């Protein structure tokens, strides 16, 4: 499958602060793409540039399959920030303006209002809405006209647990409908749960990008101990599948392939070493993320 | 045309717009009626304002008073533009797929439409009072209608220009009023000190001079007090400023972060 977006060496400064220092990556079509990074890493700036509300100092981006960036944006639904609507207009009237900008018909407005449970309140003015309702109206605006791509900036930020899980379900469901989703998040857990691909940003630099499975590879570590750890370490080093070995108070090994504790026990025993401790440990993604962005 | 439709959707349910339009038309009609009936006077028994409200002099006579009321529309333009900044809908429009330059063009179209609407209203007022006061050829002196349009266009463009930079309605309105005063003083100062008409070519003054108060104008002409700027210069400069605002804003909107 091709890409929907190519980003090439984007740089952006705010005065003396460099927010993005030459970021490049591609977003494959149909994926859920997470832009992951701690606060201040440049995620929101990057999304702002992709939607033309901010201007990059250098570099460029290209939405594939659209005649222009403007045309692409008409097919992108986005939640970039707080809901931006005319306070004195009703939900319906606000979406009518959105539909006109996007060049879509008005018949979709009722649909999206029903989808976000605001249909009953469609004639109420925006300034009578609660925060949650405003957010839902923004989602309705993003879904208007069946977008090909969704761009979401921290979509679960500030929501309660129910709201968070609703949004995650919605993202997963939209993704199965073939919509490409690009979302910024500082929550690793969120990216792990909903994204298929990820780019990790730190202080304006791209650390890595690719499929979540590769980037945030959930490695198993096996912890071993014997009466002679030196001999054990040299034995393990000879094993062709061993990727990493750390000798501490105990020995920690990671393997290139899935490797069971049974296999390793057998290997050691056959080579004359009896283990007195053997335990599988999961290194948490959190610690890997922390390590990457340290 | 779609851009104009979007602007229409924003204003058609905006009470502020209708209130300002109501004040604009209502007070103007009341004033002209009062002048026409000589309820409103200046200078004792020899009422200085008792000019003719029949064709052809009605156009220039009501043109001057009309120029006062453009302020209502200026205020609306300022509110309309600063609303976009305070609701952050200027960003939302771009995110939703509007071209940056189209955002400016939408507001330019609003300015042009309001100026046209105000001019049509002016023509209707002139025709009604002109015919009520005995008819004549309505097309004599009709060039004043063109000046009225240019005047409105220049004032509304200036107000919009200010709002694009200031982004807040209250401050923009205050600065607009302050600028009226400053420019008035400055132009008299320049004209008086150098015995010239250069002061009349300042941004708003260039259009003000197109719609003078007839009584005052004939007084100055009688005393031969001061050189007057030729009409073509006043028209030329008014257009020049409008174009200038457009290109400055164009540059701003295409290159800056929103």
Q: Is residue A85 part of a domain?
A: no
Going by pLDDT thresholds of 50, 70 and 90, the confidence category of residue B101 is: very high
Residue A60 scores a pLDDT above 80? yes
Q: Is residue A112 part of a domain?
A: no
A187 and A157 share a domain?
A: yes
What does the pLDDT read at residue A241? 80
Cβ proximity of A190 and A163 under 8 Å: no
| B97–A70 CB contact, under 8 Å | yes
Q: Is residue A52 part of a domain?
A: yes
From the list A71, A100, A141, which residue is nearest B6 (CB)? A100
Going by pLDDT thresholds of 50, 70 and 90, the confidence category of residue A217 is: low
Q: What is the pLDDT of residues A75-131, one digit of tens each?
A: 999 988 788 999 999 999 999 999 999 998 898 999 999 988 899 999 999 999 988
Question: Which of A48, A84, A103 is most worth mutating to test chain B (most B CB atoms within 10 A of its CB)?
Answer: A84
Q: Is residue A269 part of a domain?
A: yes
Q: Does B17 touch chain A (CB under 8 A)?
A: no
The CA distances from residue A116 to A88, A119, A158, in Å, are 21, 8, 17
Q: Read off the pLDDT of each residue in A23-27 and give the average, rounded to a whole number.
A: 94
What does the pLDDT read at residue A171? 85
A156 and A26 share a domain?
A: yes
Q: What is the pLDDT of residues B222-251, one digit of tens each?
A: 666 667 788 999 999 999 999 999 999 999
What does the pLDDT read at residue A104? 87
Residue B73 scores a pLDDT above 90? yes
| A53–B97 CB contact, under 8 Å | no
Cβ proximity of A35 and A184 under 8 Å: yes
What does the pLDDT read at residue A287? 66
Q: Read off the pLDDT of each residue in B16-39 and give the average, rounded to a whole number.
A: 89
Helix (H) or strand (E) holding A44: helix A43-50
Share of chain B above pLDDT 90, in %: 64
Q: Does B85 touch chain A (CB under 8 A)?
A: no
Q: Residues of A with CB below 8 A from B9's CB?
A: 93, 96-97, 100
Q: Is residue A121 part of a domain?
A: no
Q: Residues of A with CB below 8 A from B13's CB?
A: 88-89, 93
| B257–A74 CB contact, under 8 Å | no
A45 and A153 share a domain?
A: yes
Q: Is residue A131 part of a domain?
A: no
What does the pLDDT read at residue B44? 59
What is the spatial distance between Cα A200 and Cα A285, in angstroms, rounded to a whole number?
Answer: 13
The CA distances from residue B190 to B158, B184, B186, in Å, are 21, 10, 6
Distance from CA of A90 to the nearest CA of B (A): 10
* Residue B218 or residue A244, greater confidence: A244
Q: What is the pLDDT of residues B124-166, one digit of tens each?
A: 999 998 888 877 788 888 999 999 999 999 999 999 999 999 9
What is the spatial distance between Cα B171 and Cα A180, in angstroms, rounded to a whole number?
Answer: 43
A163 and A244 share a domain?
A: no
- The CATH code of the domain that includes A268 is 3.30.70.100
Q: What is the pLDDT of residues B153-206, one digit of tens each?
A: 999 999 999 999 999 999 999 999 999 999 999 998 998 888 888 888 999 999
Residue A12 scores a pLDDT above 70? yes
- The CATH code of the domain that includes A66 is 3.40.50.300
What does the pLDDT read at residue B173? 96
Q: What is the pLDDT of residues B205-217, one digit of tens each?
A: 999 888 887 766 6
Residue at which a domain ends, from A215, A240, A261: A215
Strands A275-282 and A220-226: antiparallel
Q: What's the burial of B136, exposed, middle or buried (CB within 10 Å: 0-12/13-18/19+)? A: middle
What does the pLDDT read at residue B48? 58
What is the spatial distance between Cα B249 and Cα A148, in angstroms, rounded to a whole number?
Answer: 33
Residue A132 scores a pLDDT above 70? yes
Q: Is residue A29 part of a domain?
A: yes
A167 and A205 share a domain?
A: yes
With a CB cutoff of 8 Å and minimum separation 6, the contacts of A274 are A226, A227, A268
Q: Residues of A with CB below 8 A from B99's CB?
A: 70
Q: Does B112 touch chain A (CB under 8 A)?
A: no
Distance of CA B177 to the CA centre of its chain: 13
Share of chain A above pLDDT 90, in %: 45
What is the spatial distance between Cα B160 and Cα B107, in angstroms, rounded to a whole number?
Answer: 8
A172 and A256 share a domain?
A: no
Residue at which a domain ends, from A215, A230, A249: A215
| A54–B258 CB contact, under 8 Å | yes
What phi, psi does B81 have (nearest 5°)? -80, -40
Closest CA to B106 of B2, B246, B14: B2
Dihedral of CA B98/B104/B107/B111: which sign? Answer: negative
A70 and A156 share a domain?
A: yes
What is the spatial distance between Cα A92 and Cα A119, in angstroms, rounded to a whole number?
Answer: 9
Q: Residues of B with CB below 8 A from A81's CB?
A: 88, 91
Q: Is residue A110 part of a domain?
A: no
A197 and A168 share a domain?
A: yes
A194 and A64 share a domain?
A: yes
Strands A3-14 and A17-28: antiparallel
Q: Does B96 touch chain A (CB under 8 A)?
A: yes
The total domain count for chain A is 2
What is the spatial distance between Cα B132 and Cα B152, in angstroms, rounded to a whole number?
Answer: 26
What does the pLDDT read at residue B227? 76
Q: Does B4 touch chain A (CB under 8 A)?
A: no
Q: Which domain holds residue A258?
A: 220-293
A236 and A274 share a domain?
A: yes
Question: Which of B92, B99, B101 is most worth mutating to test chain A (most A CB atoms within 10 A of its CB)?
Answer: B92
| B6–A101 CB contact, under 8 Å | yes
A11 and A64 share a domain?
A: yes
Going by pLDDT thresholds of 50, 70 and 90, the confidence category of residue B81 is: very high
Q: Read off the pLDDT of each residue in B112-132 and give the average, rounded to a whole number.
A: 94
Residue at which a domain ends, from A215, A239, A267: A215
Q: Residues of A with CB below 8 A from B100's CB?
A: 52
What mean pLDDT is reported for chain A?
88
What does the pLDDT read at residue B165? 95
* Residue A168 or residue A179, greater confidence: A179
Strands A242-247 and A220-226: unpaired
| B96–A141 CB contact, under 8 Å | yes
Q: Residues of A with CB below 8 A from B93's CB?
A: 101
Question: Which of B14, B15, B93, B97 is most worth mutating to test chain A (most A CB atoms within 10 A of its CB)?
Answer: B97
A206 and A244 share a domain?
A: no
* Residue B39 or residue B106, greater confidence: B106
What does the pLDDT read at residue A284? 58
Strands A149-153 and A76-79: parallel
| A85–B87 CB contact, under 8 Å | yes
Q: Which residue of B has its CA nearest to A82?
A: B88
What is the spatial distance between Cα B247 and Cα B22, in angstroms, rounded to a whole number?
Answer: 32
Compute the count of residue pairs across chains A and B with CB atoms less than 8 Å apart: 75
Question: Which of A56, A72, A101, A134 is most worth mutating to test chain B (most B CB atoms within 10 A of its CB)?
Answer: A101
Going by pLDDT thresholds of 50, 70 and 90, the confidence category of residue A242 is: confident
What does the pLDDT read at residue B218? 66
């Amino acid at each position: 499958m091709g890409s929907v977006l190519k980003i090439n060496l984007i740089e952006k400064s705010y005065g003396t602060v460099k927010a993005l220092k030459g970021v490049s990556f591609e977003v494959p079509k149909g994926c859920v793409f997470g832009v992951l990074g701690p606060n201040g890493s440049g995620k929101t700036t990057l999304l702002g540039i992709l939607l033309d509300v901010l201007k990059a100092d250098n570099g460029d981006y290209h939405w594939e399959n659209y005649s222009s960036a403007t045309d692409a944006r008409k097919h992108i639904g986005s939640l970039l920030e707080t809901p931006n609507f005319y306070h004195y207009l009703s939900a319906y009237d606000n979406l009518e303006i959105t539909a006109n900008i996007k060049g879509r018909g008005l018949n979709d407005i009722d649909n999206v209002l029903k989808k976000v449970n605001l249909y009953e309140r469609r004639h109420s003015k925006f300034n009578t809405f609660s925060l949650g309702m405003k957010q839902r109206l923004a989602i309705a605006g993003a879904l208007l006209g069946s977008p090909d791509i969704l761009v979401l900036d921290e979509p679960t930020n500030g929501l309660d647990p129910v709201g968070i899980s609703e949004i995650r379900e919605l993202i997963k469901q939209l993704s199965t409908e073939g919509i490409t989703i690009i979302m910024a998040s500082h929550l690793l857990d969120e990216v792990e749960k909903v994204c298929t691909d990820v780019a990790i940003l730190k202080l304006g630099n791209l650390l890595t990008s690719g499929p979540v499975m590769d980037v945030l590879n959930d490695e198993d570590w096996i912890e071993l101990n014997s009466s002679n750890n030196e001999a054990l370490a040299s034995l393990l080093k000879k094993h062709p599948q061993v990727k990493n070995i750390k000798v501490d108070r105990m020995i920690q090994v990671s393997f290139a392939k899935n490797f069971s504790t049974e296999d390793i026990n057998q290997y050691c025993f056959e080579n004359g070493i009896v283990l007195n401790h053997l335990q599988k440990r999961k290194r948490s993604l959190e610690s890997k993320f922390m390590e990457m962005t340290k | 045309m779609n851009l104009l439709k979007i602007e229409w959707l924003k204003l058609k349910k905006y009470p502020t717009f209708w209130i300002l339009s109501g004040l604009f038309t209502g007070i103007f009609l009341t004033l002209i009626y009062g002048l026409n009936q000589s309820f409103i006077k200046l200078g004792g028994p020899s009422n200085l304002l008792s000019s003719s409200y029949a064709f052809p002099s009605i156009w220039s006579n009501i043109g001057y008073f009309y120029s006062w009321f453009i302020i209502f529309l200026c205020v609306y333009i300022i509110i309309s533009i600063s609303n976009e900044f305070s609701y952050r809908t200027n960003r939302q429009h771009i995110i939703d797929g509007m071209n940056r330059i189209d955002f400016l063009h939408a507001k330019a179209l609003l300015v042009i439409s309001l100026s046209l609407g105000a001019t049509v209203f002016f023509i209707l007022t002139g025709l009604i009072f002109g015919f009520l006061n005995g008819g004549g050829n309505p097309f004599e002196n009709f060039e004043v209608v063109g000046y009225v349009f240019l005047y409105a266009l220049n004032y509304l463009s200036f107000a919009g220009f200010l709002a694009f930079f200031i982004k807040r309605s209250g401050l923009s309105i205050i600065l607009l009023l302050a600028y009226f005063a400053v420019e008035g003083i400055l132009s008299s100062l320049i004209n008086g000190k150098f015995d010239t008409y250069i002061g009349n070519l300042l941004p708003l003054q260039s259009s003000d001079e197109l719609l003078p108060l007839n009584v005052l104008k004939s007084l100055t002409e009688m005393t031969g007090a001061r050189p007057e700027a030729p009409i073509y210069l006043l028209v030329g400069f008014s257009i020049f400023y409008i174009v200038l605002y457009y290109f400055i804003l164009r540059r701003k909107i295409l290159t800056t972060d929103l």
